[in-house]
Amino acid sequence: MIQLGKCTLVAFAALLGGAQAMAYTFDPSLPAKVGDQIKQDMAFMATLQGGQSSALHAQIFGKLDGAGYKKFFEDRVTEIGYNSCGGGNAVACVIPFAGSSRMWITDNYIKFSHPQISRLMVIYHEARHTEDDNDNWSHATCPTPFNDEKGNEMKSIWTGAKLAGQPACDITPFGSYGSSMILLKNVSKFCTNCTDKVKMDAGIYADDQFGRVIDEQARAQIKSDLY
């Protein structure tokens, strides 16, 4: 699950095609306002275009292309429902024993005033957690203390919750934090039909999520690919 302050297993999903078709369904438990926001976000994601992408992005998602992002989700998520996901800071979650292709959303998805691209970061983070073949890309425990390169305490960009000692980090570029930041960093650098604001926001949130990749070899691989 992804949380605003910490994350366990989660998945999110749904992209809309040109005809507004959805390959996943909404459970009746999902509030209409949450479902409407998901539809809007996915419709936007399906429009993205890029002339190029980084090597890690190509390995995970393929080209920077809305149709490819649509397929990525539709291959993974079949249903989106409503759940507290443990409450507190949770935004969404996948509960593998209840079916990895089902994604659960909380009110926090629409509660905070974050840019659209950051909600999509959450969605793609969670889609990665649906992959049973990779043990759902479980997270690593963040170190204690946990500070950034400037010595500042690491906190959630969503809520300000402290991350030290929480299961909210990754040790591979291919986990949920690594892959979602790779996606956003590519959008910030290579999207050809995004506004400057979207690209700026994508870069800010990507850089923040990069801080959650704590293995030095993984960090070096991402830096070589994107920085």
Question: What is the per-residue DSSP string for 92-106?
Answer: EE--GGG-TTEEEE-
On whether the CB atoms of residues 54 and 90 are closer than 8 A, the answer is: no
Query: What are the residues facing 81 on neighbouring strands?
Result: 104
On whether the CB atoms of residues 105 and 127 are closer than 8 A, the answer is: no
Neighbours of 51 (CB within 10 A): 9
Q: What is the pLDDT of residue 51?
A: 78
On whether the CB atoms of residues 103 and 131 are closer than 8 A, the answer is: no
Crossing angle of helices 116-127 and 66-74, rounded to 10°: 40
pTM for the whole structure = 0.87
Q: What is the pLDDT of residue 2?
A: 53
- pLDDT tens track, the chain, 227 positions: 554 443 333 333 333 333 346 789 999 999 999 999 999 999 999 999 997 999 999 999 999 999 999 999 999 989 988 998 887 777 888 888 888 899 888 888 888 889 999 999 988 999 999 999 999 999 999 999 999 989 999 999 977 889 999 999 999 999 999 999 999 999 999 999 999 999 999 999 999 999 999 999 999 999 999 99
Alpha-carbon distance of 127 to 188, in angstroms, equals: 20
Listed by start position, the domains of the chain span: 2-226
Q: Which residue has the tokens 């369904």?
A: 25
Q: What is the pLDDT of residue 16?
A: 34
Q: What is the pLDDT of residue 85?
A: 86
CA 219 distance to own-chain centroid: 18
